[in-house]
Each structure stands twice: as C-alpha cells, then as structure tokens.
Amino acid sequence: MPTVALARETDWAGWRAAARALVLAGVAPDAVRWRAGGAGDALPAAEGGFGLPRALVDLATLAFQARDPDRFPLLYRLVWRAHAGERVLDLALDPDVDAARALALAVRAEAHRMRTHVRFLRAGGDAGGGGRLIGWYAPAHFVLEASAQLIARRFPDPSWSILTPDGSAHCDGGDLRFGPGVAPPADDAALAALWGERGGELLAGARPGTSVPEAEALEEAPRPPDRPALGPVVRHVPADAALAEASAEAVRCRRCPLWEPATQTVFGEGPPGARLLLVGEQPGDQEDVIGRPFVGPAGQLLDQALEEAGIDRRAVYITNAVKHFKFVRRGKRRIHERPDPAEMHACAFWLDVERVRIAPRLTVLMGATAARSVLGRPVTITRERGRPFELAPGATGFVTVHPSFLLRLPDEAAKAREYRAFVADLREAARIAGGG
C-alpha cells in the first residue's frame, strides 16, 4: 500500500497534488496511507486533471486545517467519490460529509478564537512604541497560517510575531513569513525572555509563503458560539481570584455592541492590594491589539507623569471606564470615538467589580468619561479637578485630566503647562493614597 508523506501538517498543496495524482491513477482510498512528515512513496505520474465543486474544495480547505490525522484519508474519500460522479454535498446523511463539516466548523471557530484572543506584548522599542509585538497562542487546530494572513491584512504596520507550539508567523510591513514553533512559555515574562534569547534565530529561520488556502473562507465565517478564553494564551491574569474570573468572563461580554468591532476586551491590571486606582476612558488602538490598558501613546505619557510624581506603576491598579475600543474606520486607520452614556453604563458593571475587589484608598478619575462613569453624572473637569471628595466611606475620589487631552493640545507651551499640572495632580493623589 503506498504511503503519501506530506511535508508538514499544513501542506495543503502537497495533499492536493497527491490526491489528484492518486485519483487519476485509480488508487482507491483504502489502498493508500497518509502521514505528515517522514518518508513516503513516490506518487504515480498524473496525466490530465479534473474539476471538483467549489463548495467541496472550500470545505476541504477548512477541514484540512483540523488537528485530526484522519482528515487526510477522509478528504481523499470525498474527492474520490466526487470524481466518480457522486454529488456528495447534496447527501442528507453521509458520515464522511458530516465528519468533514464538523472539522470545518471546529477550524473556523478556532481561527476566529485565535484572531480575537491572541494578545501581544512589546519586545524592544522605545517610548514612541516601536519594537516588535510578540503574541503567544496554542491553537487547538492548525489555524496559525490562515489566521496570520488575516491578521497581517488587518495589522500590516507594526512588526509582530505570533508563536505557537506548531510554528511561528512573523509580519514586517505586511510581509509574512513562517518559521518553527516553540514550547509554551509559562507567562508573559517567560515569553519575553524566550523572545530575547531566540527571537533573532526564529526570524532568521522564517520563510515566506504558505500553501494553506485562502483565508476568505475563515473571514466570512460566522462567529463561534460564546466560549471562555482559552487557558493557554499567555495573558495578564489578575492575581486576585475574583478579578481573574471577572476578566475571563469579560472576554465574552455582550453588555453593549462595542465588543463586536473591537479585537478584544481590555481588562484592568495591577496588584490586588493597590491603594491607588486610576481610571481612564477606554482602550485605544494599540491597547486593543495588545490587550493591556495604557500601553499606547497616552500610556507612555501616563508612565512618564507617574514616574515624575514618584508613583510606581506596578503598585497601581489601572483600568478604563469602558473595556472595548470604540472607533470609526477611516481608510486603514481606526479613529477613536467617545463611548456614549449607555455604553458607559453597560461597562460600569466591570468597573464596579474592579472597584469592589481592589477597594483602593483613592480612585483617580482621568477625564470626563471616567468621572461620569463613576459619579453617574456629567462632570466638567476644569471645575472639579484636584479636589478630593468622599466616594464612599473610607474611599476618596479625585478628578484630573486624561493624558490624551495633553497629547491633543496643539500649542507646546500649553502642553508643558498642562503636563506640569497633571504631574502635580498625580503627586497629590500619591500623597492622599499613601497617607495614613
């Protein structure tokens, strides 16, 4: 019995060429063995060709990406039968068709999950946000290559790499390359260390091209049923168990429509015992991709101001009033839009969970959205900033500007003046939060 050895699990072109040659040579499905990797037999010389219904090819391209060794013979059986004239996809009850459809569905769902759940940390770079975004994901099926094509189309600009146990994808300026996989890192720090040690080697070993089918079939796929975030993604998990649970639930939040266009939920982060809670508006473009609050330009400015105010960011719990990025598309750009009161109200559920669990001494409301969300009324920042007030027994509130306000000021002198006032507010906040 001939054995067909594919170059790798995702060698769609190799499988297609072998299936064609075998059908044309009249090699029946039960007379051939399939494997990924290793040695195989030479294929019969194939003369001519034949067509297959487009729907069957689409089904096969998806099912081929399933992590199931039986998919190779299963799909060959379907091709064999279709070539013999059977209208296999029209059959109401057919075990092969049903099995292939189930695999295709699982692949679609996993590809979607990968695209929405992969999170990135920044390796290297500077305060301007350069460097490379590194993501980790352990896909249940072989969906890295197709998903990477879609992610590269959506995010061609920042350089990024996605590492998985099966392989890695690397994108630079829209140019996509694929390389070897890596063992699962334990957490973000291990992922960063792994990239530090092996990033150069992984990039050097990456090659352009994939034979995995067009990604459109995945893109048009319906969203999968709600499921919790997959465990193995190296994501920031709050140290507090209740917050960890809430952040996992928030991944599936449907309390308002903002979840749909956004890449992911961006939950707050910080130590459970934080005395100081900082609340911003909503994740921005970069936060939406990276999955962490205040890591883009406003976050860099906030970091600088915190440092000048003598506040260690690692000791602060930082979150947003709204956990999804709200934007409008303009060409390739995603332009920030303010959340409306209904969206703030819907998301106050998660902010309340964070506020109750962290129970900080001081809550700093940065900007009008944070202030309105927490106080439940419109707030004029210039009128209320810098004056501590009782938020609840034992808990103080404090209003200040949002760092994005500083970024938007066109005049350098005004920018410098407002920045100094912001640092002064943070210093005052540190004094209140730290005072006994």
List of residues contacting ligand URA (CB under 6 A): 280-284, 287, 293-294, 296, 298-299, 320, 404
CA distance 146 to 139: 12
At 56, list the tokens. Answer: 């069957």
Q: Which residues pair with 163 in a beta bridge?
A: 136, 168
Q: How far is the CB of 402 from ligand URA (least distance, A)?
A: 6
Q: How far is the CB of 234 from ligand URA (least distance, A)?
A: 20
On whether the CB atoms of residues 269 and 317 are closer than 8 A, the answer is yes
At 134, list the tokens. Answer: 């590194």
Class of residue 58 by CB neighbours under 10 A (exposed 0-12, middle 13-18, buried 19+): middle
Closer residue to ligand URA, CB minimum distance, 199 or 284: 284
User: Among 275, 268, 225, 233, which residue's Cα sits nearest to residue 140?
Assistant: 233
Q: How far is the CB of 176 from ligand URA (least distance, A)?
A: 28
Closer residue to ligand URA, CB minimum distance, 213 or 299: 299
Q: How far is the CB of 115 from ligand URA (least distance, A)?
A: 21
Closer residue to ligand URA, CB minimum distance, 106 or 302: 302
Closer residue to ligand URA, CB minimum distance, 217 or 306: 306
Q: How far is the CB of 320 from ligand URA (least distance, A)?
A: 5
At 42, list the tokens. Answer: 């030479």
On whether the CB atoms of residues 385 and 399 are closer than 8 A, the answer is yes
Q: How far is the CB of 325 from ligand URA (least distance, A)?
A: 9
Q: How far is the CB of 300 from ligand URA (least distance, A)?
A: 10
Q: How far is the CB of 297 from ligand URA (least distance, A)?
A: 8
Closer residue to ligand URA, CB minimum distance, 272 or 297: 297
Closer residue to ligand URA, CB minimum distance, 135 or 299: 299
Closer residue to ligand URA, CB minimum distance, 198 or 336: 336
The backbone torsions φ and ψ at residue 334, rounded to the nearest 5 degrees and listed phi first, read -110, 115
Residue nearest to ligand URA (CB): 280
Residue 307: other Cβ atoms inside 10 A: 13
The backbone torsions φ and ψ at residue 165, rounded to the nearest 5 degrees and listed phi first, read -65, -25
Sign of CA dihedral 339, 343, 348, 350: negative
DSSP 161-190: EEE-SS-EEEEETTEEEEE---PPPSSHHH
On whether the CB atoms of residues 110 and 140 are closer than 8 A, the answer is yes
Closer residue to ligand URA, CB minimum distance, 22 or 381: 381
Contacts of 158 (CB under 8 A, 6+ apart): 132, 133, 289
Closer residue to ligand URA, CB minimum distance, 210 or 404: 404
Side chain identity at 394, as an amino acid letter?
Answer: G
Q: How far is the CB of 64 from ligand URA (least distance, A)?
A: 39
Q: Output the CA–CA distances (angstroms, integers) from residue 69 to 57, 111, 112, 178, in the order listed.
A: 19, 19, 22, 22
